[in-house]
Structure 1
C-alpha cells in the first residue's frame, strides 16, 4: 500500500508568472514517488480533518521557516567549479584559452572529476538548487561520473557530454579526436545515463551538448540533432552569447545562431539555449515556435555578454526563460545572487549606462523586471524550460523544496 507523507508549513511560490502566492500553514501530501498529491490551505474546508489524519506521519516546519520551490539552475559548467571567480577581468578568449580549457582537459582523470563533482553537487544542494542542467567535458567517463554523482546525492541532474569536434576551432589538447568518435561517445553517453537513471528516483537525464556552433563541424551539429531526435532527449548549447559568437555564426552561415541551430535540429522542444543576448524578435519567434527556452545568466553576462538581454520583451513575446548561474563565467553558485543581478541588469537596460547621452534616449524603455519576476525565473521558469514538473508547489509536481 502506498504511503502518503504530510508536510506542514508556510509556502511561497509563483504558480503564475510574476505573482507571488503565499499559503499560510499549508498541508502538503506527498506520495512514495515524491509527487505532491494535494495541497490544503489553512482556510480550506476539511483542513482540520486532513491534519488529524496526518498526525502520525507529519513533518511540520518550525516558526519562521517556510517552503520555497527548489531552484532550477539552467546553466552550469560543472568542470569549471575549481576556478569560480578566477580571471573574470580577462577578455573571453584569454579566460577560455589560458584558464578554462586547460582546467577542463584535466577531467581526463575520472578520479579528479569525481572529487570536484561531489563537492559541486553538494554545494549547489546546500544553496537550495535541486535541479541543474550541466555541461560536463568532452570526456565520456568523467561525464558519466557527474551523472552518477547527481544520482547518488539526490539532485535532479541533466548532464551533457560536451562535443567540440572541429580541429580548426579548438585547441589540440582539448577537443574530440574526430566527429565520428564524438557522436559515438554521445550516443553511448545517452544510453548509459538512461541506465543510471533507473537507480535515481529523482531523475537523471542525458543531454545532447554541442559546446556552441563555432566549436563544431556541420557534420557534428547534424549528427547531434539526429541523436536528439532519435532518443528524444534534452539539448543544450550556447546561443548568441556575445558579439563575437553572434557575428562568427552570421559570417559562417549567413544566418543567426538561432536559425542555424534550428536547421540542424537542435532548436527544439526540451532545448535550452544559454544566454541568448543577441536574439532578435524573429529569433524569439523561432523559440516560441519550437518550444525551446533561454537560460538567462545575469552575472556571467555582466562579464562576457557585451550587452543586456531584454528579458521582459522576450517574456512578452512568449519565450520560455529560466535562470542560470553559468559557473564559472558566473562567480557565484547561488541563484539568489543571480536573482538580484537579473533585477539590476534589467534596470540598467531600462535606464541606460552612458551618462553622456540624454536621459530620454540612453536606455530601453519598459525593460525592468521585479524581484518576484526573477524569483519566478529561478523556479517556475526553469521547470517550464526543462519540461519537468518542478519549480512550483502544487498537485502533480515533484516535492522539490528548500
Structure 2
C-alpha cells in the first residue's frame, strides 16, 4: 500500500478518564499500515507534510463535520448467531440456547451457508466502525475457516475461535463434539490451518474457545488449557454470565467458574472472559492477578446477565476490561449502542431499580461511569485486552480508524459536547469510512 495522510479533527482516549481532542491534525500512515506521526499546526513541518501528501495524491481531507476516531474493538461476538440477532431475547438463557441458538449453529455444517452469513456479518461489523472482533465460531472447522477467510478478504482484524463443547449433559446430540479427543483434535486442526495460510501482518488469530464451563467436560477443559500453552494463543469463554451458569460450576466442580477455568489453565494474560455479572470480589481479584480481561456486554447482560457488571469498581481496581456486543445475546453489532447501554446500566446499578426500597438502600454507591469511560472500553481497553497496538490515534499504533460524520447542531458546541454527541448519536449511516492497517476497507 502507499502512504496516506488523513487531515482533520480527531478524538482518542488517553486513559479511562481522559480523551485527547485534536482540533486539527495530520495522521501520517506508513506503507505498512502503522501510524508514523500525528502532527498538529504547531509542528514546524505540518503544512509541508500536508502539501506534499496532497501533491502525491496521498491526502484525505475530512469534510466539514467529519471526525477521525479509533476503530472499535469488539471483544465478544458469536458470529454464527448473526441470523438470529434480535430474536427471542425475552426467553431464559438456557431455553434461548437450546431452542434457538444451538439449532442455528448446527446449520454451519454447510460451508455455503456459513459463507453467506459470514460475508454479510463481517461487512456489517466494518460498517458499524468495528475494526477488530474476537469471535466465537461453531464446532465446524470448515465454517470457521470461512469466517477467517472473510476477515482476510474484507479487511477485519479477526480473533476467531473453534468452539469446543462436548458435555452430553448440557449440549444437544445433534450439535456437540463427539468426545474430548474430537474437540481437541478439531481445535488443533483449526489452529494449524489458520497458521499455515497466514501471510505477513496477517489479520486472523486463532483462539482457544471452550464455549463455557457447562458445555465442556473436565478432560476437554484441561486439554484446551494445554493447547493454549503449546501454541501461545488467546483464549475466550464466558465467566459468571448468569445465575444458572455460575451455579453450574459450583454444583459440578465445587468452585466458582472463574476458579474452575483457572484450574484448567484457561485464565492467562491472553484470555478474555465475557459478562462476569456474578463475579465475587475474590473472582475479580483472581482475574486481575492472572491479567485476564473481561468483555463487558451491557446490552446482552440486560437480557441474560441477571445483574450489572461493576465497571467503575473494576476500572478502579486495575482489572483489564473492554466492550463486547455479544451478538446475538445483544441485538446489535454497534459498539456505539453498547457504549450508551454501558452508561445507562451503570446508572441503574448506582440508583437501584426497586422504588419500594429507600433510596439509600436501593443501589450500589459510586457505580456510575461516564461516556469517556465507555469510549475507553471500546478502544484502548479492547486493544490492551488483546495485547495489540491499536485503539489509539498515536504514533507506533496500527492505523485502525473510522471517519464519522456528526449530526447538525443549531447552537454552539464545546469540544466535549461534540465528542459526547458523536458517541450518543452515531449510527451506521454516519460512518463514512473505515481503515484497518491503513487500508480503506469500508466506505459509505
State the TM-score, normalized to the length of structure 1. Answer: 0.97
What's 2:330 paired with? 330
Deviations 1:268-319 (Å, cap 9, x if unpaired)?
0110001011112221222222111000000010000111110110111111
What's 1:348 paired with? 348
Pair 1:43 & 2:42 matched: yes
1:100 and 1:37, CA in 2 relative to 1: closer, same or farther beyond 3 A?
Answer: same
**Offset of residue 202 of structure 1:** 5.4
What's 1:364 paired with? 364
What's 2:234 paired with? 234
Pair 1:93 & 2:82 matched: no
**Offset of residue 3 of structure 1:** 5.2
How many residues end up aligned between the 2 structures?
400
What's 1:68 paired with? 69
**Offset of residue 372 of structure 1:** 1.2
SS in 2 for 1:98: helix
Runs of 4+ in 1 over 3 A off after TM superposition: none
Pair 1:373 & 2:373 matched: yes
Pair 1:157 & 2:158 matched: yes
What's 1:103 paired with? 104
What's 1:113 paired with? 114
Q: How does 1:183-194 map to 2 (within 5 A)?
A: 183-194=184-195
**Offset of residue 342 of structure 1:** 0.4
- Is the contact between residue 155 and residue 202 of structure 1 (CA under 8 Å) also seen in structure 2? no
**Structure 2 unaligned runs (5+)?**
403-444
What's 1:148 paired with? 149
**Offset of residue 64 of structure 1:** 1.2
User: How far apart in 1 are the matches of 2:2 and 2:249?
Assistant: 54
**Offset of residue 234 of structure 1:** 0.7
What is the CA RMSD across the aligned residues, in angstroms? 1.3
**Offset of residue 20 of structure 1:** 1.5
What's 2:137 paired with? 136
What's 2:290 paired with? 290
User: How far apart in 1 are the matches of 2:307 and 2:376?
Assistant: 23
SS in 2 for 1:121: helix
User: How far apart in 2 are the matches of 1:88 and 1:336?
Assistant: 20
What's 1:211 paired with? 211
Q: How does 1:238-277 map to 2 (within 5 A)?
A: 238-277=238-277
User: How far apart in 2 are the matches of 1:68 and 1:190?
Assistant: 32
SS in 2 for 1:237: strand
User: How far apart in 1 are the matches of 2:2 and 2:262?
Assistant: 45
User: How far apart in 1 are the matches of 2:377 and 2:315?
Assistant: 10
User: How far apart in 2 are the matches of 1:66 and 1:247?
Assistant: 46
What's 1:166 paired with? 167
**Offset of residue 168 of structure 1:** 2.2
User: How far apart in 2 are the matches of 1:340 and 1:6?
Assistant: 31
Deviations 1:112-135 (Å, cap 9, x if unpaired)?
000000000001100100100000
